[in-house]
Amino acid sequence: MKTISALPIQWMNYFLMVLLAIMPLVYNDSGVDPNLIPRLALMSLYVLTASIFLLISHKNLHTNYYLLVLMPFALLAAAYWYSVLNATNQTEAVFVATKISLYAAVVVTTYFLYANRIIQFKYVVYGMVTACVLSVILVLKDVYLLNKLNILLWESDNVYKINATFGHKNLLASYLLFTIPFLVIAIKNQPTKTIKVLLGLLLVLVILILLLLQTRAALLALVIGIVFYAIILFKIYTKQRLTNKLLWPVLLLLSMLLFSGSIYLFRDKFSVITRTESFKERAALWQNSWEMFKEYPTGVGAGNWQIMLPKYGVQKFYEFNYRVTEGLTTFQRPHNDFLWVLCETGFVGGITYVLIFVILLITLLKIKSKDAFFDTNIIAAFVMSYLVVALVDFPLERVEHSFIIFVVTAIVFAHAQYGKIWIVPTRLIFVGLVLVAMFNLYAVKLRWSSELQLHKMYKAHQTQNWNALINTSVKANNSMLNMDYFSIPVSWYTGVAYFSSGDLSMAKMYFEEAYQTNPYQIHVLNNLGVCYTKEQNYQKGLPLLEQANTISPTFSDGISTLAGAYYNVGRYKDAWRVIATFKYDEQNLQYITFATAIAKANLNEEKSKLNATQQQLVIELLQNDELIKQKLKGAYRKPMSYFYQ
């Protein structure tokens, strides 16, 4: 294969190495998500720089490539863009499709760079080892600061305070997990004994941090990766003596047993691991997701899973996370990348995404490499660990996770060089990649400007500064962001500001816009329904309030507004049926007032149908609100007959 010898190509190796190394340091807490957009910008910079380099080097590149393995990435990007047509919120869909296109561009650019021997895998290893060192330093910094504040890491949920620059301990844990294979490769290839020992100590420290973080997805992935690697080694050593054949597999399995035993022996310290809430939560998410796919087999649209999820009910989350049923906590992902892609892009996108990893694993298990750094067995174990995390979490959404898996994937496919040789128009491809990178940078610019406004918007909302809330929310809304990271439309905040200021007409207009953005958000449904009922437009208002109640029957604001609407139109039985699902709270004066009025209306309506004894009891209740309030204490989910029995 031809190589580029006339150009100073070594800097491309250093460029990729530095990008991988500094990824943990790229964040800016001025934004709502401190690392997503900055790291997406870094990835865009990589694709742009690499594409321009390849474009300039066009005459020095050969045009024959084994491109069959790249087709799934093009198909995946196409599936995401096609899904935009199905999306309820096309603004969010365009942004997500843009990001997935960038992921595909990372694969293509890296493929061409490696296929033309412009980059080497050892620099990827160096970059990831450096990233590991920096991540560990950031973790130790968090531990030091918490210790300084006398916060005990093993108590309660204090371990969640350790997240370095990754936003959440689980994301930190999975990223550290993904650095382990590169640490192992570096240790194997390090000639200097001192550095080898230091790297070994770093590996031990990373595993200890994973234990401290108690992230089950990462720990499970680590165990399965070790087992997978042990099985590969066992097969490799089939021609050796039994002692040699079993040495490494047995050592790895013993390490795994020691690892599992430590967790069991010190289970009082690993309380986060033993909790069951997250299992139930994921089960509920997957159940709703499967219902979603069955209803929309062609996909609900990129980035729209989070919008459609409540349509299938959120009451199942009540027993382990009541905040979900109150609309205070929302889910943006199903904690399963494969299910996520399937729901958003449909059968074609879902199968394509699975196919990528199937081809990747088959390729790794078949190819042999003369490059000591390109250890296919360790890389295969890394991919296996990634798949485990992807089955219970969302590495596809995080840039730092996706960057490394797609860089490695491209190098594996370029290294294998199987499939039909195509003569490709490289200049056209590189121009396309440049355009993809530039469009991503444009999207990043708009998205980041919105995030800066979102910070101000949240502060204005919290302090009830309605004028500031209107100004910041309007500025935050643009062609790349119309919904925040809690799945709440930005225009909803504008509507709240106008509603709180007494401008019902403007509030209704913005709530209607919010409804178009996310028609299953219970606060949007409730607020728009209230606007209509205040105008006595119950024909429009009641269906919205009923829908909110169907999605979340225990949503407290929704209960009171729907019960009030039923009362106002004279549907007293329905009003009581709804208000009776609210538990008595003597501090909630609004509930007591509503429930008392509704109870009296029902009693008046039923009085004539009762016998003399019951009628006398009802008359006494109607003449004394205090008696009704006493009855309300035990009226939870009781029929109206409870009052006169």
What is the three-state SS of 266-283?
CCCCCCCCCCCHHHHHHH
Percent of the chain with pLDDT over 70: 90
More confident residue, 322 or 41: 41
CA-based nearest residue to 453, from 490, 501, 486: 490
CA-based nearest residue to 292, from 351, 344, 352, 350: 344
- Kindly list the domain boundaries of the chain, sorted by start residue: 10-67+88-269+367-424, 570-645
In which band, very low, low, confident or very high, does the pLDDT at 2 lie, cut at 50, 70 and 90? very low
Longest dimension (CA), the chain: 106
More confident residue, 79 or 272: 79
Give residue 453's pLDDT.
Answer: 96
Cβ neighbors of 460 (< 8 A, separation 6 or more) are: 466, 468, 469, 472, 497
At 422, which helix (H) or strand (E)? strand 421-423
Mean pLDDT of 532-546: 96
Sign for the pseudo-dihedral over CA of 121, 123, 125, 131: negative
According to DSSP H, which parts of 463-534 are helical?
A: 466-476, 490-500, 504-517, 522-534
The Cα–Cα gap between 232 and 245 comes to 11
- The number of C-alpha atoms within 13 Å of 576 and in the hemisphere containing its C-beta is 21
**Does the pLDDT value for residue 265 go beyond 60?**
no
Mean pLDDT of 10-24: 95
Query: Of the spans 258-262, 533-537, 609-613, which averages the highest pLDDT?
Result: 533-537
According to DSSP H, which parts of 214-276 are helical?
A: 216-236, 242-265
In which band, very low, low, confident or very high, does the pLDDT at 1 lie, cut at 50, 70 and 90? very low
Give residue 589's pLDDT.
Answer: 84
Give residue 178's pLDDT.
Answer: 97
The Cα–Cα gap between 93 and 344 comes to 9
Give the number of other Cβ atoms within 10 Å of residue 370's Cβ: 5
At 66, which helix (H) or strand (E)? strand 64-66
CA-based nearest residue to 96, from 410, 450, 488, 399: 399
* Bridge partners, 206 (sequence order): none
**Does the pLDDT value for residue 341 go beyond 60?**
yes
Decide if 83 contacts 349 (C-beta within 8 A).
Answer: yes
Give residue 10's pLDDT.
Answer: 84
Summarize pLDDT for 306-319 with one digit per residue, the tens: 999 999 999 988 88
Give the global pTM. Answer: 0.91
Token pair in block for residue 577: 């049926």
Decide if 323 contacts 552 (C-beta within 8 A).
Answer: no
Task: Using CB atoms within 10 Å of the CB of residue 439, give its burial: 0 to 12 exposed, 13 to 18 middle, 19+ buried.
Answer: middle
Mean residue pLDDT across the chain: 89
Terminal-residue alpha carbon distance, the chain? 91
At 423, which helix (H) or strand (E)? strand 421-423
What does 555-615 look like in DSSP terms, one character per residue?
Answer: -HHHHHHHHHHHHHTT-HHHHHHHHTTSPP-TT-HHHHHHHHHHHHHHHHHHGGGS-HHHH
Question: 51-65, 74-88, 579-593: which has the minimum mean pLDDT?
Answer: 51-65
Give residue 587's pLDDT.
Answer: 84
Residue type, 264: Y
Q: How far is Cα of residue 391 from the mean position of the Cα atoms in its chain? A: 12
CA-based nearest residue to 102, from 147, 184, 44: 44
Question: 50-54, 226-230, 477-481: which has the minimum mean pLDDT?
Answer: 226-230
Mean pLDDT of 471-479: 96
Decide if 436 contacts 50 (C-beta within 8 A).
Answer: no
**Does the pLDDT value for residue 212 go beyond 80?**
yes
More confident residue, 2 or 424: 424
Summarize pLDDT for 110-133 with one digit per residue, the tens: 999 998 889 999 999 999 999 999
Residue type, 186: A
Give residue 288's pLDDT.
Answer: 95
Give residue 615's pLDDT.
Answer: 87
Question: 122-126, 219-223, 459-463: which has the minimum mean pLDDT?
Answer: 219-223
Give residue 488's pLDDT.
Answer: 96
Give residue 72's pLDDT.
Answer: 94
Summarize pLDDT for 140-162 with one digit per residue, the tens: 999 999 988 888 876 767 888 99
The Cα–Cα gap between 643 and 13 comes to 79
Q: Classify strands 421-423 and 64-66 as parallel, antiparallel or unpaired.
A: antiparallel
Q: Tell the residue number behind the tokens 């930005």, with chain if given.
A: 490
**Does the pLDDT value for residue 494 go beyond 60?**
yes
Give residue 405's pLDDT.
Answer: 97
**Does the pLDDT value for residue 467 go beyond 70?**
yes
**Does the pLDDT value for residue 480 go beyond 90?**
yes
Residue type, 439: F
Question: 94-108, 345-359, 417-431, 597-611: which has the minimum mean pLDDT?
Answer: 417-431
Give residue 4's pLDDT.
Answer: 47
DSSP annotation of 478: B
More confident residue, 151 or 536: 536
Summarize pLDDT for 571-606 with one digit per residue, the tens: 999 999 999 998 888 888 888 888 999 999 999 988
Mean pLDDT of 349-376: 91
Sign for the pseudo-dihedral over CA of 245, 246, 252, 253: positive
Decide if 549 contacts 562 (C-beta within 8 A).
Answer: yes
Q: Tell the residue number behind the tokens 């720089």, with chain if given.
A: 49
In which band, very low, low, confident or very high, does the pLDDT at 6 lie, cut at 50, 70 and 90? very low
The Cα–Cα gap between 174 and 161 comes to 16
CA-based nearest residue to 622, from 639, 641, 643, 637: 643
Q: Tell the residue number behind the tokens 């996108």, with chain if given.
A: 349
Give residue 5's pLDDT.
Answer: 45
What phi and psi, each to the nearest 5 degrees, are found at residue 423? -95, 115
Coil, helix or strand for 19? helix
**Does the pLDDT value for residue 261 go beyond 90?**
no
What phi and psi, each to the nearest 5 degrees, are found at residue 484? -80, -175
Percent of the chain with pLDDT over 90: 64
In which band, very low, low, confident or very high, does the pLDDT at 22 lie, cut at 50, 70 and 90? very high
